[in-house]
Amino acid sequence: MSQIKALAFDVGGSVFDWKSSVIRGIESLTQARGVAIDSEAFAMGWRLRKFQTLMQVKQGAVSRMNADQILRYTLDGLLGDFPSLNLSDEEKDQLMTVWHKMPVWNEFPEALEKLKSRYTVFVLTILSMAIVVDCSKFNGITWDAIISCEFLNHYKQDPGAYIKGAELLGLKPEEVLMVAVHPSDIEAAQRAGMKAAFVEPKTSEPDVPGLSFPPKYDQYDYCAQTFMDLADQLCK
């Protein structure tokens, strides 16, 4: 096995807890106006619509958008399912900020520091650069680099996203370990030549046809219960 020099991290759902952030944001709005909705269903619906729109973007059916634009675009459709909300444009803008304040899992900052002492640790994400920079600052974590698919011209899980991401850092794909809680992401990375590490997810994701399937533990280079577990395995 060739030597791993760098770790590429998926962040949405893997590192950043999108769901609790969306739930907190929507509940602060619903409580203020005294309406009740199923906040978890709202969060799951938004996330699902994001993936669906992203697929349409990849197929060229809708024009190219970054993650913020996709999330704003899908919000209007989502609100159709929750007519009792009746949000103003200002409230919609306010709600959008939940994507820039997603918390990280408690154990993550320490694991990141440990991994950075040995490897180049970077983000490889579909999310916008602004989302990742803002959320990282919000949580007080520092990456070696942040690579957003918005400036790669390839979105994960196209092989080009992984290959170009590695290339930007002067690395061959096989020198990079892709880390995620989503089997589809790390398996796409493997097909592009990267190594794969699976970490157990801490929250459920919406079911997206083609993207949601159970992990194939025996096919990955590393499997870990937590990020600290992964750091311990990688920094022996």
Partner 1 sequence: MKNNIKALYFDVFGTVTDWRSSVISECQKTTERLNIELDWGEFVDKWRLDGYIDALIKISSGLMEIQPIEVIHMKKLHQLLDEYGITGLMPEEINHMNLAWNRLRIWDDVSDGLNLLKKKFMILPFSNGDLRCLVEISKYNNLPWDGIISADFFKKIKPDVTVYQDAADLLHMNPEEILMVAAHAKDLEAARKAGMKTAYVIRPLEFGPCAVPEEKPEPFDYEVDSFIELASVLNQSSNEQ
Of positions 4, 71, 104, 147, contacts partner 1 by CB under 8 A: 147
- Nearest approach, Cβ of residue 116 and partner 1 (Å): 8
Residue owning tokens 């083609």:
210
CB closer to partner 1 out of 51 and 122: 122
Query: Contact between 213 and partner 1 (CB under 8 A)?
Result: no
Query: Contact between 208 and partner 1 (CB under 8 A)?
Result: no
Query: Contact between 87 and partner 1 (CB under 8 A)?
Result: no
Which residues, other chains included, contact 215 with Cβ-Cβ below 8 Å and sequence gap of 6+? Answer: 183, 198, 223
Query: Contact between 145 and partner 1 (CB under 8 A)?
Result: yes
Nearest to 220 by CA among 199, 204, 235: 199
CB closer to partner 1 out of 149 and 196: 149
Of positions 38, 64, 151, 219, contacts partner 1 by CB under 8 A: 151
CB closer to partner 1 out of 165 and 183: 165
How many other CB atoms sit within 10 Å of the CB of residue 76?
11
How many other CB atoms sit within 10 Å of the CB of residue 80?
8
Query: Contact between 144 and partner 1 (CB under 8 A)?
Result: yes
Query: Contact between 136 and partner 1 (CB under 8 A)?
Result: yes
Which residues, other chains included, contact 34 with Cβ-Cβ below 8 Å and sequence gap of 6+? Answer: none
CB closer to partner 1 out of 37 and 130: 130
- 34-73: contacts with partner 1 (CB under 8 A): 68
Stretch that binds partner 1, among 82-90, 141-149, 180-188, 201-209 (CB under 8 A): 141-149
CB closer to partner 1 out of 143 and 227: 143
Of the chain, the end-to-end C-alpha distance in Å amounts to: 16
How far apart, in whole angstroms, are the C-alpha atoms of residue 48 and residue 178?
Answer: 23
- Nearest approach, Cβ of residue 144 and partner 1 (Å): 5
Query: Contact between 143 and partner 1 (CB under 8 A)?
Result: yes
Note the residues at the interface with partner 1 (CB under 8 A): 68, 120, 122, 128-130, 132-133, 136-137, 142-147, 151, 168-170
